[in-house]
């Protein structure tokens, strides 16, 4: 290909903005980002529930090429949203984003060697297609009997109704995952009563969040090496956590001791302590970082209901013991449909075969990025690139680095098309599934990583350093390049 290829990106969150920026920095100007929302930001634009904040220290939850002066160790949602928009503006890619444009489908045109992309406002063609849809963008509404019959407002944390005032009202919160542990402490001082419906408890760690003093911020700015050192230290800590969750199970008892100590020192009531202490292995569900969850649960206007929900009625929730608690507002902190990846968008590769057909029961991709039969397609934060620790922003940068390596290779070989070889993808998948068997996510608990049949299409079973190493160049023989 003599000209630089045209590139279409689906999704304007960290992935889409990061890809457009890194591509532009390498001279790729013919780039368009389709974003169905009204602004860039992805999950950070959509998740505006009270208390929403990052649970990875911000010095690692930022692009390595755009360090930021954060207000706190764990930045709140609005600050992260401003950061993503700021990066898009500063690196000149905001103009490449088409907001309010949903991609419905994309099909590979074999004859013309390009992707035809159907959007809500018309068709578009591009040589390369990158999906950056995230894994946590589609809210999951639980199949609870009678939910639709509830008379008051009921909404998901990711679709927070800011027009609904929770002050002085009885609020039922369903779910006790990462979103719930942030929202409950934020609304507890306002609500008259919070009934918190827990299906199974999760382990927590102290977050030790704090503001950065003006002096600390000035030092980070004056001596960027300090910022980089802090980032490196956070990264090392995350890698230790990743080792504990994947191959180094002997580390888990130490982690469990920290989690148990947090519960025991915060909760005096033995019955509440019992309900809150998980019985499953630490890390099987995502470990939640918090300083204010247990103090909120100690408040007299919060009740932890550990019985199964039987049904939602017009004005409350009935549990399995038959007890019914009145509610005026229901908050669904029930997580996301995370296993569909690019859905509901339909992607058809060579011969019209769809990604859904190629995947069957379990989504899979070589390094989470490429799928045989789908030339010039890269899935950012695709199958098996999540983890119990580590920064998704770092993962995305690695994935985008792989796209840049592929583009370099195409340019140097004069190729117009790149496609992962089926043998390479299958070999990688076998290696991945074997490694997953030894991870904590397979120890039997409910988590959003593993499906009902025990398949894990979500998580990376090795260190993040391994992901960086494997993505930074194309392994010999992994890809076919076509002139
Ligand atoms: P989640 O971790 O999947 O938690 C969902 C909660 O809802 C769990 O407690 C689950 O119970 C419960 N639940 C699901 N279906 C239910 C049902 N039918 N009946 C009763 N309870 C039900 O979802 P999330 O809290 O939204 O977090 C998802 C992920 O988003 C996190 O793991 C994290 O990666 C990310 N996140 C990050 C941040 C951050 O960085 N600040 C904040 C929020 C979320 P079980 O545990 O029994 O399944």
DSSP codes, 290-351? -SSHHHHHTSTTEEEE-SPEEEEETTEEEETTS-EEE-SEEEE---B--S-TTTTSEEE-GG
Does residue 284's CB lie within 6 angstroms of at least one atom of ligand 1? no
Does residue 75's CB lie within 6 angstroms of at least one atom of ligand 1? no
Interatomic CA distance for residues 193 and 327, integer angstroms: 9
**pLDDT at 445 (0 to 100):** 92
**Ranges of residues in the chain whose predicted pLDDT is under 70:** 1-2
Output the six-digit token pair for 105. 């489908």
**pLDDT at 2 (0 to 100):** 67
* φ and ψ at residue 106, rounded to 5 degrees: -145, 140
How far lies 281's CA from each of 38, 70, 258, 374, in Å?
41, 34, 13, 38
**pLDDT at 3 (0 to 100):** 85
Closest CA to 14 of 2, 4, 6, 22: 22
pTM of the model: 0.96
Pocket test for ligand 1, best of 175, 285, 291, 331 (most atoms within 8 A of CB): 175
Ligand 1 centroid to Cα of residue 24, in Å, is 36
Atom of ligand 1 nearest to the CA of 446: 48
Contacts of 466 (CB under 8 A, 6+ apart): none
Ligand 1 centroid to Cα of residue 177, in Å, is 4
**pLDDT at 375 (0 to 100):** 98
Interatomic CA distance for residues 205 and 288, integer angstroms: 6
Pocket test for ligand 1, best of 79, 334, 338, 389 (most atoms within 8 A of CB): 334
* φ and ψ at residue 418, rounded to 5 degrees: -135, 135
Interatomic CA distance for residues 431 and 433, integer angstroms: 6
Give Rg (Cα) of the chain: 23
How far lies 96's CA from each of 23, 31, 132, 173, 281, in Å?
12, 7, 15, 39, 45
Ligand 1 centroid to Cα of residue 2, in Å, is 48
Ligand 1 centroid to Cα of residue 176, in Å, is 6
Question: Which residue CA neighbors atom 48 of ligand 1 most closely?
Answer: 446
Ligand 1 centroid to Cα of residue 119, in Å, is 31
Cβ pair 17, 84 in contact under 8 A = yes
Does residue 333's CB lie within 6 angstroms of at least one atom of ligand 1? yes
**pLDDT at 1 (0 to 100):** 61
Output the six-digit token pair for 146. 């009678």
Which H/E stretch holds residue 285? none
Coil, strand or helix: which one is 179? helix
């Amino acid at each position: 290909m003599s000209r630089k290829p045209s590139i279409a990106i689906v999704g304007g969150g960290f992935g889409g903005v990061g890809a457009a920026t890194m591509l532009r920095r390498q001279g790729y100007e013919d780039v368009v980002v389709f974003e169905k929302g009204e602004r860039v930001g992805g999950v950070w634009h959509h998740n505006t529930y009270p208390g929403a904040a990052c649970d990875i220290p911000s010095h690692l939850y930022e692009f390595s090429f755009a360090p930021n002066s954060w207000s706190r160790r764990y930045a709140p949602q609005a600050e992260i949203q401003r950061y993503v928009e700021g990066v898009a503006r500063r690196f000149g890619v905001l103009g490449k984003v088409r907001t309010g444009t949903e991609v419905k489908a994309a099909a590979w045109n074999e004859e013309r060697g390009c992707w035809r992309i159907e959007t809500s406002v018309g068709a578009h063609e591009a040589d390369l297609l990158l999906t950056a849809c995230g894994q946590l963008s589609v809210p999951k509404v639980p199949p609870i009997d009678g939910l639709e019959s509830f008379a008051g407002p009921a909404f998901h944390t990711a679709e927070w109704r800011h027009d609904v005032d929770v002050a002085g009202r009885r609020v039922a919160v369903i779910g006790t995952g990462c979103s719930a542990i942030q929202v409950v402490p934020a609304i507890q001082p306002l609500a008259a009563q919070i009934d918190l419906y827990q299906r199974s408890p999760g382990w927590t760690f102290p977050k030790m969040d704090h503001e950065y003093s003006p002096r600390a911020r000035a030092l980070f700015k004056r001596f960027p090496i300090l910022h980089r050192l802090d980032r490196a230290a956070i990264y090392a800590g995350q890698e230790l956590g990743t080792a504990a969750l994947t191959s180094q199970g002997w580390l888990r008892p130490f982690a469990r001791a920290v989690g148990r100590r947090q519960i025991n020192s915060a909760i005096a009531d033995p019955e509440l302590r019992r309900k809150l202490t998980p019985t499953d292995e630490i890390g099987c569900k995502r470990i939640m970082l918090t300083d204010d969850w247990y103090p909120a649960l100690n408040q007299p206007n919060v009740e932890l209901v550990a019985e199964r929900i039987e049904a939602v009625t017009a004005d409350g929730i009935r549990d399995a013991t038959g007890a019914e608690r009145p509610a005026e507002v229901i908050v669904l902190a029930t997580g996301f449909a995370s296993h569909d990846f690019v859905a509901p968008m339909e992607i058809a590769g060579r011969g019209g075969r769809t990604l859904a057909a190629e995947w069957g029961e379990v989504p899979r991709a070589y390094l989470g990025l490429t799928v045989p039969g789908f030339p010039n397609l890269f899935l950012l934060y695709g199958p098996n690139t999540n983890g119990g620790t580590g920064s998704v922003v770092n993962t995305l940068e690695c994935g985008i680095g792989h796209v840049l390596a592929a583009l370099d290779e195409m340019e140097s070989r004069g190729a117009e098309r790149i496609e992962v070889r089926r043998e390479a993808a299958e070999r990688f998948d076998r290696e991945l599934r074997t490694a997953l068997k030894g991870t904590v996510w397979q120890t039997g608990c409910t988590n959003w990583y593993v499906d009902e049949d025990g398949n894990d299409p979500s998580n990376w079973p090795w260190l993040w350093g391994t992901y960086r190493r494997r993505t930074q160049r194309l392994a010999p023989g992994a890809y076919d390049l076509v002139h």
